[in-house]
Amino acid sequence: MGWDYKELKQLDHTHLWHPFAQMQEWMREELLIIERGEGSYLVDIHGRKYIDGVSSLWCNLYGHQRQELDEAIRNQLDRIAHTTFLGLSHVPGIKLAQKLTEIAPPGLQRVFYSDSGSTAVEVALKMAFQYWQLKGEKNRTRFASLAEAYHGDTVGAMSVGYSEVFHRFHRPLLFPALRISPPHVFRCLHKMSEQDALKAAIEEAEEQLSKERDSLAAFVMEPLMQGAAGMWSQPPGYVKSLSEICRRNRILLILDEVATGFGRTGRMFACEHEDVSPDLLCLGKGMTAGYLPLAATLATEEIFAAFLGEYKELKSFFHGHTYTGNPLGCSVALAGLDLFQKEKILEKMQPKIPYIKSRLERDFLPLAHVGDVRQCGFMVGIELVEEKVPLRKYPPEKRMANRVVLEARRRGVIVRPLGDVIVLMPPLTISADELKTLLDVTHESIRLASES
Q: Name the site residues for ligand PLP (rule: CB under 6 A).
A: 116-118, 121, 150-152, 222, 227-228, 256, 258-259, 284-285
Q: Which is nearer to ligand PLP, 282 or 299 (CB)?
A: 282
Q: Which is nearer to ligand PLP, 259 or 380 (CB)?
A: 259
The rounded distance, in Å, linking the Cα atoms of 93 and 91 is 5
Q: In angstroms, give the least distance from the CB of 450 to ligand PLP.
A: 27
Using CB positions, name the residue nearest to ligand PLP: 117
Instruction: Please state, as a whole number, how many other Cβ atoms lie within 10 Å of the Cβ of residue 427.
Output: 28
Q: In angstroms, give the least distance from the CB of 258 to ligand PLP.
A: 4
Q: Which is nearer to ligand PLP, 41 or 58 (CB)?
A: 58
Q: Which is nearer to ligand PLP, 121 or 376 (CB)?
A: 121
Q: Which is nearer to ligand PLP, 93 or 227 (CB)?
A: 227
- Indicate the angle between helix axes 432-451 and 352-359, nearest 10 degrees: 20
Q: In angstroms, give the least distance from the CB of 116 to ligand PLP.
A: 4
Q: Which is nearer to ligand PLP, 128 or 441 (CB)?
A: 128
Type of residue at 203? E
| Separation in Å, CA 327 to CA 6, 80, 290, 292 | 37, 8, 15, 10
The phi and psi torsions of 235 (rounded to 5 degrees) equal: -65, 155
Q: Which is nearer to ligand PLP, 152 or 385 (CB)?
A: 152
Residues 6+ apart with CB under 8 A from 452: none
Q: In angstroms, give the least distance from the CB of 285 to ligand PLP.
A: 6
The rounded distance, in Å, linking the Cα atoms of 50 and 41 is 5
Q: In angstroms, give the least distance from the CB of 247 to ligand PLP.
A: 22
The rounded distance, in Å, linking the Cα atoms of 152 and 158 is 6
The rounded distance, in Å, linking the Cα atoms of 385 and 389 is 10
Residues 6+ apart with CB under 8 A from 329: 115, 288, 291, 292, 293, 294
Q: Which is nearer to ligand PLP, 119 or 450 (CB)?
A: 119
Q: In angstroms, give the least distance from the CB of 407 to ligand PLP.
A: 26
Q: In angstroms, give the least distance from the CB of 282 to ligand PLP.
A: 7
Q: In angstroms, give the least distance from the CB of 155 to ligand PLP.
A: 12
